[in-house]
Structure 1
Amino acid sequence: MTTQEFSTMVQKYQALVYTVCHQLVPDVQEAQDLTQETFLAAWRAIDRCPPGFEKQWLARIAANKAKDYLRSAWVRKMNTPGDEVLALEGAPPGMQPEQQVLEVLGEEELTGMILNLREPYCTPCRLVLLEQHTMAEAARLCGRPPKTVEAQVYRAKKMLAQQILQNERIPCERRSVHGTV
């Protein structure tokens, strides 16, 4: 494929590629960046494009670029899974999200919810969330591998988030909208 033919393909499918990226990554700037990355990747791998299937090929590259972006460490760090309940919208400046949850629920109720978790989640959560041990310390105290304890605390936070969101005392506008719980 010549440079002119590729330029024509870019003009023809630019809107499609942007739409695919924007549907997967709602941020406009990121979708535009991913559109450019898609065409750059397409140019580098143009010899692998099946003749007559340029549209589908570009859409697949765009979807893969968007998925790679969503899996990136930066995006995952900015939207830490499992902490949805602690990322309540509208927290006043200087007020930790954990403190906001405590104000709404009360320390006793939240402690009770943690202690009522089923095993294997209760022990690591008690150690990490209530007794303020590090994940490594909790793993040592539980006699479990550190990654196992991290996974158990992550899953327990999701279970707690679900319970808290079902609690009628948290108004809808204060519930998290980040991801599924």
Structure 2
Amino acid sequence: MNKYNTYLYQVAYSVLHSTNDAEDLTQEALLKIYASLPQYQHQGFKTWITRITVNKAIDYKRSRERKREQLSDEPELLLPMELTKTVEDEVMYKHRRQRIREYLDEIPDNYRDVLVAFYIEDKSYQEIAVEQGVTLKTVESKLYRAKQWIRKHWREDEWR
């Protein structure tokens, strides 16, 4: 564990690009490696542990993307989960969800697609560019213009 912990963390981080996720995944990979030692066939230990870590990272990333896909269908679910204690809290929560949905509907389609992809689906500029068949600069411009549009058309006190 001491010998390969840093190496496995770097492998996990290269797939996940998140320090917290990479740390958690490294621990899970080390547990999996330990549990799988009886099946190890004494051929390339470092390659074997790298493969286990990469597979766990890919599985984690896929499950995270599936969750995001489900969330992108209902953006209001991205609101913090509050423990509603009263009927009034529940009504306010539903009202806020409805307002967010209405605000998202106001955004022009070409901006909304980029905003949802970047902020809700957590996609990179490159992924968005490939999906939409545009250049990286176009994605940057659309995000910038979308932010400008939001600043111009929304007042913060209206949606908070």
Compute the TM-score of the two structures, normalised by the length of structure 1. Answer: 0.44
More helix by share: 2
Flag the structure with more relative contact order, 1 or 2, with Cα contacts below 8 A and sequence separation at least 6.
1
Q: Considering only CA atoms, is the larger Rg found in Structure 1 or Structure 2?
A: 1
